[in-house]
Amino acid sequence: QQPVQSPQAVILREGEDAVINCSSSKALYSVHWYRQKHGEAPVFLMILLKGGEQKGHDKISASFNEKKQQSSLYLTASQLSYSGTYFCGTADPTNAGNMLTFGGGTRLMVKP
Amino acid sequence: DTGVSQNPRHKITKRGQNVTFRCDPISEHNRLYWYRQTLGQGPEFLTYFQNEAQLEKSRLLSDRFSAERPKGSFSTLEIQRTEQGDSAMYLCASSFGTGTVLTGELFFGEGSRLTVL
């Protein structure tokens, strides 16, 4: 069963903030975040391992609440280059933790 | 370019024909994954190799699909007797890992787009 992402789509103006949520019905080893631009391959953003850590670089950060089996991706002061579809991928004990199950994606459009 | 390479990039075929896709992973990566992605959806897991061993295969994967990774290097994904529902982007990804939990990033190729007429 794939993780559920919300919202499905969001439109921002440059400089605005956004939060993308990822929720799983299973206990998780890790949550991975990827961004995919139209016609391109998904590109890795970050990994969060169980332990409730929050990671980030530049103006993109993420948190992982293993008890709630949820992760959130935070995009602050959005830039035009942030446009794309964001996917969370989860690794859980039912698949030995060695492969990712991806959510349906959140489409982000940043306008000038 | 030392990234993940996939060929062909595009394939148009008639229903009932067989197709084969090839993936060349990053050379030092021991793990290789195949995913399928349809428009507006997230990548859907198909199968996974560690070195030459196929360790996981999706229960959704029909027996028309077969994948190999001889010698733990490149991999091929073959679809026999294609159906229109097989039309999708087939993505290959590789990573390096030694533990039991995926802690490294997946490096994706640009995919092979299949259109079945």
Residue A84 has pLDDT above 90, yes or no: yes
**Tokens 């990039």, located at residue:** B9
What pLDDT does B6 receive? 97
**Tokens 């035009």, located at residue:** A80
| Mutate: best of A99, A102, A106, partner B, most B CBs <10 A | A99
The span from the CA of A59 to the CA of A77, in Å, is 7
Sign of the four-CA dihedral B45, B46, B52, B56:
positive
CB A81 within 8 A of CB A111: no
Tell me, yes or no, if B104 comes closer than 8 A to chain A by beta carbon: yes
| Mutate: best of B4, B59, B106, B107, partner A, most A CBs <10 A | B106
pLDDT tens digit sequence for B59-116? 878 899 999 999 889 999 999 999 999 999 999 999 988 776 667 789 999 999 999 9
pLDDT tens digit sequence for A23-68? 999 888 889 999 999 989 999 999 998 766 666 777 899 999 988 9
Q: pLDDT grade, residue B1 (50/70/90)?
A: low
* C-alpha to C-alpha distances, A18 to A36, A83, A97, B15, B59, nearest whole angstrom: 17, 12, 29, 43, 36
Spell out which residues of chain A touch residue B45, defining contact as CB-CB under 8 Å.
Answer: 99-102
Omega within 30 of 0 (cis) for the link into B8:
yes
Which of B42, B48, B105 is facing A44, going by the closest CB pair?
B105
